Amino acid sequence: MMEHGNSGFSKAGLDRLREVLARHVESGKIPGLVALVTRGEETHVEALGTMRHDGGAPMRRDTIFRMASTTKPVAVAATMVLLDECRLRLDDPVDPWLPELADRRVLKRPDGPLDDTVPARRPITVRDLLTSTCGLGLDMTARTAPMMSAFFEQGVYGQEDGWLLPEPGPDEWMRRLGTLPLMYQPGERWLYNVSDDVLGVLVARVTGQSFEEFLRERIFGPLGMKDTAFHVPADKLDRLPPLYAPDWQTGEFLVEDEVEGGHHSRPPAFQSGGGGLDSTVDDYHAYFRMLLNHGMHGSERILSRPAVELMTTNRLTPEQTAALQAWARSVVHLSHGQGQHGGWGFGMTVRTHRGDYAPIGQFGWDGGAGTTTYADPDNQLVGILLTQTGMSTPDSAHAIHDFWTTLYQAIDD
């Protein structure tokens, strides 16, 4: 499917991209995928394979995918709207809105016992949440630390079926989170995921709307993101594939999340900014194109130019960046090189030096359900690859890696 405009890619390069993606599907390791690449006025879409590993309906351009952590770069826009409107300020303490996080205790050692603490040196601020430095997070480099077990024992995150999303409603979730100490002092260290979920609660409390209602009103609606939400309604469920988590030893396709009756078939108690959205390649393209356009969508301003600049440029110190990179190296699916080259803006990674085919300044993120979305200001390029083969095995990770390698070769000037 080709929409001709100004030349952005070579035909040979796009043919090669299709060949490489088709090879991953034909290997039998990935049932199907949808890819969208766009540069300037030119958009190219590939929908390959099937929704289920045993055949059935083909993947289509409008197939809906669980975005998992690729939710983060989109969900963070809600907070940016509130900053633009001066309803929040970057360095304001969050205590008035999130009293559960006031008067924190901080572990003396991040891997130490939960009762060995000192007082927090200062309150958590909006900036700490936006940069994922609030002092709480999932640290895969310290899996045996008491704090990691406490997240699951306190029911902050559910672990029964490997589904890393908050299960209780926002107020109860905040209450449970408030029973735990911080792992690091506010602003000290980058830590994954928890900040993104807290931001959703913050937005809901500031606006008096649900997180999803506010996102729909200010981001999804204006951008025409009609298939983006925190669950898939019944009349669209035929467009959602199952989520597979293949057994990495046998290669057997195990279903991690069914379609009917699965996690995404009904509204969740908690609308997770860390990993809860469902979406399509075209919806995500609209959002990332808006970021490349400095906050504009057509003639309508969605975010201010400075808000977009803050989100999409590195906000971490060298020490914080080192912690992010150590964490990324420990996560099997971040094969797109973020462990080596990534800083962090708000809700997304930002390339801070070049280590493979993608240039400095590229921004976006990946998701554990087999999703990747990045935009590149230098080349005015957006790349989106969506699968539903969880990244517990290397196969999705290899497909994502090869997608970016071939996409950058297809640029034609």
Using CA atoms, how far apart are residues 227 and 268, in angstroms rounded to an integer? 16
Whether residues 333 and 386 fall in one domain: yes
pLDDT, position 76: 98
pLDDT, position 322: 87
Note the maximum CA span of the chain: 63
CATH number of the CATH domain containing 183: 3.40.710.10
Whether residues 232 and 99 fall in one domain: no
Domain end marker among 212, 239, 265 = 212
SS3 145: coil
Number of domains in the chain: 2
Whether residues 276 and 376 fall in one domain: yes
Q: Which domain holds residue 150?
A: 77-212
pLDDT, position 268: 95
Using CB atoms within 10 Å of the CB of residue 319, give its burial: 0 to 12 exposed, 13 to 18 middle, 19+ buried: exposed
372 and 366 in contact (C-beta within 8 Å)? yes
Using CB atoms within 10 Å of the CB of residue 210, give its burial: 0 to 12 exposed, 13 to 18 middle, 19+ buried: middle
pLDDT, position 326: 83
Whether residues 277 and 364 fall in one domain: yes
Taking CA atoms, 21 is separated from 7, 111, 355, 387, in Å, by 22, 42, 23, 11
Domain end marker among 177, 212, 247 = 212
Q: What is the pLDDT along the chain (413 residues), one digit of tens a residue?
A: 444 445 699 999 999 999 999 999 999 999 999 999 999 889 999 999 999 998 889 999 999 999 999 999 999 999 999 999 999 999 999 999 999 999 999 999 999 999 999 999 999 999 999 999 999 998 877 778 999 999 989 999 986 455 578 989 999 999 999 999 999 999 999 999 999 999 999 999 999 999 999 999 999 999 999 999 999 999 999 999 999 988 878 878 899 999 999 999 999 999 999 999 999 999 999 999 999 999 999 999 999 999 999 999 999 999 999 888 888 877 755 545 545 568 999 999 999 988 889 999 999 999 999 999 999 999 999 999 999 998 777 888 899 999 999 999 999 98
Report DSSP state, residue 99: G
